Structure 1
Amino acid sequence: MTHAPATRRRFIRILAASGAALAAGPLAAAQPPEPVTWQGIALGADAQMQLLHPDRAHAEKLIALAVAEVQRLEKIFSLYQDDSALVQLNRSGRLDRPAADMARLISEALQFSRATDGCFDVSVQPLWQLYARQLQAGKPLPPAPRDLQRALASVGWQHVLVDEQAIALARPGMALTLNGIAQGYITDRVTELLRANGLEHALIDLGETRAIGRPEHRDAWLAGIADPANRAQLLGKVALRDQALATSGGYGTPLTADGSTTHLFDPRSGLARPRWASVTVRAANATTADALSTAFSLMDEHAITHVAREYQAQAWLLAHGQGQQLIRIG
C-alpha cells in the first residue's frame, strides 16, 4: 500500500519538556542553557528533540544533522516511499547489496524474533494487507479463518534471509514491515550522531524516546505513561538516565470502532487482539525498547519476565479492564 500513514498517537508524555509539567522546572537554575527544540514527523509518528548545549548555534547545527539523518533512514525503512529499500524488497522479494543500516536492522529484528519465540516478527505485513483490504471492502474484522491461514502462509521470520550481499524473502507473498522497530533504530542512530558531535545532554523522541545525560539540575529525564482511556492522565512516571523508553498499545491504532481489533498482529494466529492494554519498556537503547514493547503486547507475564531479564529491561503492563494499576516487571 502506498497511501500516507496516519500519524501515530503519543503514548509517552515527556515531562521534562516544560517546567510547568514538574513541581520545579528542569531548567530552574540561574541562567541555564536554553533548550533547543525541534518538532516534526518521523516514520509517521510525532517526533521531537530537545538539546541542551551552551552554544545555541552549535545545537541548531546538530538539529539539522539529526533531521538529515532521520530523512536518510526513512528512505531506507519507509513503507510509504515508493523508492525506499523496504518497498523495493517487498516488491521483488530480494534486495541485493542492501545498505548497511538495512542489513543491520533486519539482522537485529531476527534476533528479537528468536528471543521472543516469534512474538516479534517483521514479516506480518501480509496480515496488515489482508486487514486493510477487509476495511476497504467494508467487511467485518477479523477476517475469515480461511483468509487468515492464507495470509499466514506468507508470514514467518525464519524465512527472512539476510547477509551483507542480499536480503531475501523465501516464501511466496512475503513482505516486511519495520514499524515495530525502525523508530527505535532511528532514535539510536540519531543519538549516536549527536554524541559523536559532542552533545552530552538531550532527549530524543522519534516515535520512541532516548535520553542522553540529564536535564539541568535534575538526576534524570522524566517521562509519563499515558492512560489509554484518558491520555491527559498519567498512570506512572519513569526516570531515564542514558536509557530509552517505548510504549505499545493497540489503542493507538484501533481497526474497529470498539477497539477490540488493532494494528498489533499476532504472527501465530493472525489475530490483532493484544494481551495487554498497553506495554511500556525501558531498556539500554531504543531499538530494544521498541521491539520488546511490541513483542510483550502478545506475551504473558512469565515469558515477559524471562525476556526482560535477558535484556536487563523493565516493563510496565496495563491489563485490559483492570483500571489504572500498572504491573511492573524487572
Structure 2
Amino acid sequence: MTSYPSRRKFVTITAAAAGMGLLPFGAARGDDHATMVEWQGVSLGSVATIRLYHPDREVGRRLIERVVAEARRLEMIFTLYETDSVLCDLNRRGVLAAPPAELVDVLQQCDRAWHVTGGVFDPTVQPLWTFYYKHFAEVGETSPPPADKLAQSLQLVGWPKVKVSRDQIVFEKPGMALTLNGIAQGYITDRVVDLLREAGLESCLVDMGEIRALGAHPDGKPWNAALQGPIDTAKQPATVDLVNKAVATSAANGFQFDKSGQSNHIFNPVTGRCADPARALSVISDTAAFADALSTACALMEDRQIVELLKRAGGNRAFVSTAAGTVEL
C-alpha cells in the first residue's frame, strides 16, 4: 500500500499555533486537593492532549494510561497509515467479515452524517485522495487534474455503495476505499471522554485530534477554545466556551497538493474538487464525532448551505474563519 502524507485536521493544542487551540491556562487547581494531570502525544497523525483534575495524581496518571491504550487500540482499527490496520485490510479486500463493533459503530455514525449533510460528508472519497496524490506526486503535475480523468475516480465514490452490517462490510465496486479521517479523531475523543466519565471524573479536556470538554474547568468557568483562520494574521482569534460540548475544525490547508491550496485533502464527493483554502470551518456539537463530520462537510458548503444544515441537524453551532476574522453563522 502506498504511504500517503498525513491529512491533518486544522486543529492544534496551543492558541499560538496555526489552527484551533486551547487558550493557555495556569496551574490552577479546582480545589485544595485536585491537581492537573496532563498527557501529550499523537493520535491519527495529530497532536493530542488530555488534561484532567484528580485528587490523587497517581490515580489520574493511571487513568490516562488506560484511555491512551484504548485510543491506540482504536487507532489500529481506523488508521490508513498502518498497513495492518483493520481499515487498510478492508480497503485492500473490499470485504470484511466479522468487523470490530467499533468500526460498525463509526460507519453507522457516517451514515447519519451522510444523510443529515445531504451526502456532502462521504467517507468513500479515499479513491480521490489516491488519484490526486498520484497526479501531483507521481506524474509531477502542478495544475488540478482534468475533469475526464477525475470522473473515473468519481465512479468509485458514493456511500450507498457500501453495505454495512454487524456480520460484514462490503464494497459494491472493486477499487472502492474508505477514509475515516473526517470522523475517527472525533470518535476516539468521545471514547476517551466516556471512559473518564465512567471512572468518576467530572472535569477534563480531551483533544485526540478534535476537542471535547467534560464538565466545566474546575475553577467553575467554561473551558475556552480559540478559533483561528486558515491564514496567519495578527488578529486576536475568536474564542468559544465549552462545557460538556465538543468542537472540531476543518480547513483545506491542513494538507495541500499544490502551492495555491486549491487541490487539498477535503474532497467534494460529487464533483471531486476540493474545499476553499481561504476558509476554516468550526462546529460545536454534543459529541466530537458529529462535530468532526459536520465540520468536514461545512468546509465544502457555502454559508447559506451551512445555515440550512444547522437547522436540519439542530443543537449545533458553526463558525467560519478567514483572514478577516471569525463569524458565527
Q: Is residue 262 of structure 2 the alignment partner of residue 260 of structure 1?
A: yes
What residue in structure 1 maps to residue 316 of structure 2?
313
Instruction: Provide the residue aligned with 1:122 in structure 2.
Output: 123
**2-side partners of 1:64 and 1:29: how far apart?**
22
Tell me the C-alpha RMSD between the 2 structures.
Answer: 1.9
How far does the alpha carbon of each residue in 1:122-171 deviate from its partner, in whole angstroms, 9 at most, with x for none? 00000000011012221133211111000000000111110111111112
1:22 equivalent in structure 2: none
Structure 1 residues 276, 162: closer, same or farther in 2, change over 3 A?
farther
- Residues of 2 paired with 1:152 and 1:61: CA distance? 47
Is it true that 1:251 corresponds to 2:253 in the alignment? yes
1:226 and 1:232 in contact (8 A); partners too: no
Give the length in aligned residue pairs.
319
CA-to-aligned-CA distance 1:192-237 (integer Å, 9 cap, x gap): 1111111111000011000011212232100001232217754300
Whole-angstrom distance in 2 between the partners of 1:146 and 1:7: 25
Q: Is it true that 1:290 corresponds to 2:292 in the alignment? A: yes
The one of 149, 152, 155 aligned to 1:150 = 152
CA-to-aligned-CA distance 1:50-109 (integer Å, 9 cap, x gap): 011111111101100111011110110010111111001100101111000000101110
Aligned letter for 2:120? Answer: C
Aligned-partner SS, 1:81: coil
Q: CA deviation at 1:29?
A: 7.0
Task: Tell whether 2:13 aligns with 1:13.
Answer: no
Identity %: 38
Q: 1:164 to 1:173 in 2, by over 3 A?
A: same
Q: Contact between 1:283 and 1:311, CA under 8 Å: does it hold in 2?
A: no
Q: Secondary structure at the match of 1:35?
A: strand
Equivalent position SS for 1:123: helix
Structure 1 CA distance, aligned partners of 2:7 and 2:299? 20
Task: Sort the Cα spacing of 1:30 and 1:58 in 2 relative to 1 into closer, same or farther, 3 A.
Answer: closer
Residue 66 of structure 2 aligns with which residue?
65
1:314, CA displacement in angstroms? Answer: 0.1
Change in 2 beyond 3 A, CA 1:173/1:231: farther
Aligned-pair CA distance for 1:7:
7.4
Structure 1's 259 and 234: CA in aligned 2 closer, same or farther, altered over 3 A? Answer: farther
Structure 1 residues 32 and 228 mapped into 2: Cα distance closer, same or farther (>3 Å)? farther
Contact 2:229/2:325 (CA < 8 Å) preserved in 1?
no
* Residue 76 to residue 233, structure 1, CA distance change in 2 (3 Å): farther
Contact 2:231 2:278 in 1 (8 A): no
Classify 1:189/1:139 alpha carbon distance in 2 versus 1 (closer, same or farther; 3 Å).
same
Q: Classify the secondary structure of the residue corresponding to 2:267.
A: coil
Q: Is the 8 A contact 2:262 2:277 kept in 1?
A: no
Instruction: Tell me if the contact between 2:320 and 2:326 (Cα under 8 Å) persists in the aligned partners.
Output: yes
Please, what TM-score do these two structures have when normalized by structure 1? 0.91
CA shift in 2, pair 1:180/1:51, >3 Å: same
Partner-residue secondary structure (3-state), 1:113: helix
Q: 1:214 is matched with which residue: 180, 202, 216? A: 216
Q: Is contact 1:39-1:48 (8 Å) kept? A: yes
Distance 1:234 1:124 in 2: 35
| 2:41–2:49 contact (8 Å) kept in structure 1 | yes
Q: What is the Cα deviation at residue 14 of structure 1?
A: 0.6
1:268-310 deviation digits (Å, cap 9, x = unpaired) = 1111133861100000010010000000111122321232232
Match of 1:210, as an amino acid?
R
The residue aligned with 2:87 is 86
Q: How far apart are the structure 2 equivalents of 1:53 and 1:226?
A: 31
Query: What's the counterpart of residue 324 of structure 1?
Result: 324
SS in 2 for 1:227: coil
Structure 2: give runs of 5+ residues left out of the alignment.
Answer: 13-18
1:171-199 C-alpha deviation (Å, 9 max, x unpaired): 22110000000000000011111111111
Helix, strand or coil for the counterpart of 1:124?
Answer: helix
Q: Aligned partners of 1:52, 1:144: CA distance in 2, in Å?
A: 53
CA contact (8 A) 1:316 1:328 kept: yes
Runs of 5+ consecutive residues of structure 1 not aligned to the other structure = 20-24
Structure 2 residue matching 1:295: 3-state secondary structure: helix
